[in-house]
Amino acid sequence: MNDSGSLYIVATPIGNLDDISLRAIEILKSVQLIAAEDTRHSKKLIQSIQVDTPLISYHDFSSESATRKILDKLQAGLSIALISDAGTPLISDPGYKLVCMARQLSIEVLPVPGPCAVTAALSVAGLATDRFVFEGFLSAKSGARQKRLQALAREMRTIVFYESPHRIEVCVEDMALVFGADRQVFIARELTKKFESHFLGSMADCVLWLKSDSNNQKGEFVVVVSGCNEEEDQLRKQQQALEIVELLRREVSMKQAVAIASKITGARKNKLYEIALNNVNFDDA
Ligand code: SAM
């Protein structure tokens, strides 16, 4: 029989302290230790809910030996709760290594679900939620950011990003460039906090909204982008196919060029042929 204690992964508020769950309070009181991303930050939360369980530090840069120490305590029978600065641990927050190793040691890992900025934003966005992908933070470097966005341009599911106030404007500008000015986007700013605000509209209008008031660029952000629709997908494929046709036209007939380009890109052949014939660049069609 396994005599280890349990590792509880406890969600805490993302702004409004009243969002702590009754079960989260109960577990934080009952465990022997709380492992926190930032003990000073978490002290305020646990004091506000009259919890006096000792705190220890655990973050992504914790050494192997610090992780080992927590696992040793669990194996010795202590139960430990992991919390992050806000929301659900492991969601763009520390904990992955610890959970992974705890599982390898057959230590029970139990969730105490609650606030999470991804689900909070999705629940009010008004964009499709039946399928979505979570992308977390984009790169701070513009080249890498645009490359990642290019890779997502034809994603049909709703895409969720986290963003910081320093980069929200350039991030949405890059999205407008890569996804197109008409793509729908929802911005959830300062969810559950005093200055919470939302924006829903096109990428082009979102850029204007961000620029219209410097307050719109302050705080914490979730950016929810609607997926690429069939029509937009066909247009992208067509554009790519036309570039291929233009290259191939020097080597093969228009008909062959269109057939090859359509096969590579998935663009509709008949439509592509019609557009290619009318395209001024193809003077010998
Ligand atoms: N673990 C957290 C969760 O469950 O959402 C996320 C932690 S991550 C380090 C912090 C990022 O989450 C912020 O930069 C922001 O993108 C997003 N976020 C967290 N709280 C938020 C809030 N109240 N409103 C909007 N976005 C928030």
Residue 161 Cα: closest atom of ligand 1: 16
Helix, strand and coil in the chain, % to nearest 5: 45, 20, 35
- For atom 23 of ligand 1, which residue has the closest CA? 191
Cα separation, 137 vs 8, in Å, equals: 25
Ligand 1: does its nearest atom lie under 6 Å from the Cβ of 86? yes
- In the chain, where the domains are located: 6-115, 118-228, 231-282
Quote the ligand 1 centre to 221 CA distance (angstroms): 7
Q: Is the pLDDT of residue 101 over 70?
A: yes
Residue 188 Cα: closest atom of ligand 1: 25
For residue 1, what pLDDT is reported?
53
C-alpha radius of gyration, the chain, whole number: 25
Is CATH 3.40.50.300 correct for 118-228?
Answer: no
pLDDT-derived band at 167 (thresholds 50, 70, 90) equals very high
> What's the angle, vertex CA 131, arms to CA 236 and CA 269, rounded to 5?
25
Average pLDDT over residues 181-208: 98
Average pLDDT over residues 231-244: 87
Residue 24 token pair: 């989260």
For residue 236, what pLDDT is reported?
82
Q: Is the pLDDT of residue 128 over 60?
A: yes
For residue 285, what pLDDT is reported?
46
For residue 20, what pLDDT is reported?
97
Q: Is the pLDDT of residue 280 over 60?
A: no
Residue with tokens 């395209």: 279
Average pLDDT over residues 180-200: 97
Average pLDDT over residues 131-150: 97
Long-range contacts of 275-284 (CB under 8 A, 24+ apart): 275/238, 275/242, 276/242, 276/245, 279/242, 281/246, 282/245, 282/246, 282/249, 282/254, 284/249
Average pLDDT over residues 167-192: 97
Ligand 1: does its nearest atom lie under 6 Å from the Cβ of 222? yes
Burial label for 67, CB within 10 Å (0-12, 13-18, 19+), is: middle
What CATH fold (topology level) applies to the domain 6-115?
Cobalt-precorrin-4 Transmethylase; domain 1 (3.40.1010)
Average pLDDT over residues 28-54: 96
pLDDT-derived band at 244 (thresholds 50, 70, 90) equals very high
pLDDT tens figures, 195-233: 999 999 999 999 999 999 999 999 999 999 999 988 888
